[in-house]
Amino acid sequence: MSHDAAWTLRRAGANDAASVGACAAEAFRHYIPRLGLTPIPMTRDYGAAIANAQVWVATQQGETEKMTENRALYERIGYVEYKRLAFETRTRVFLRKQLKAADVIR
């Protein structure tokens, strides 16, 4: 996603519970081997937390963050988004990078 797109911060709703739980699981799962136990954010009842208005969701252009590691890597090495196609079950993002003469293999 482009860095100049507007972010929206909103209270999570009941329909966000599964996504928030999946986000927490993905964010903390790599700690399980290090700690030898499951981190608390992975075991939290996000439905209850949302019901108590303790959860906020940040979205950009109405979407939740997907494949963020890949996108961040490509952006760090100079790629920019130039096209986006929305399908029923997924969104396809096209990236490109301006090459310099030194980047071209001869």
Is the domain of 78 the same as that of 96? Answer: yes
Residue range 1-9: mean pLDDT, rounded: 62
Are the CB atoms for 46 and 55 separated by under 8 Å? yes
87 three-class SS: coil
The residue length of the chain stands at 106
User: What's the domain count of the chain?
Assistant: 2
Q: Where are the beta strands (DSSP E) in 29-87?
A: 56-60, 80-86
Check pLDDT > 80 for residue 79. Answer: yes
Is the domain of 25 the same as that of 71? Answer: no
Is the domain of 11 the same as that of 42? Answer: yes
Residue range(s) defining the domain that contains residue 33? 1-64
pLDDT of res. 104 = 66
For the chain, give the percent of residues with pLDDT over 70. Answer: 84
Q: How far apart are CA 69 and CA 60, in angstroms?
A: 16
Write out pLDDT tens, residues 22-60.
Answer: 989 988 999 999 999 999 999 999 999 999 988 988 777
Q: How far apart are CA 81 and CA 95, in angstroms?
A: 4
Are the CB atoms for 68 and 75 separated by under 8 Å? no
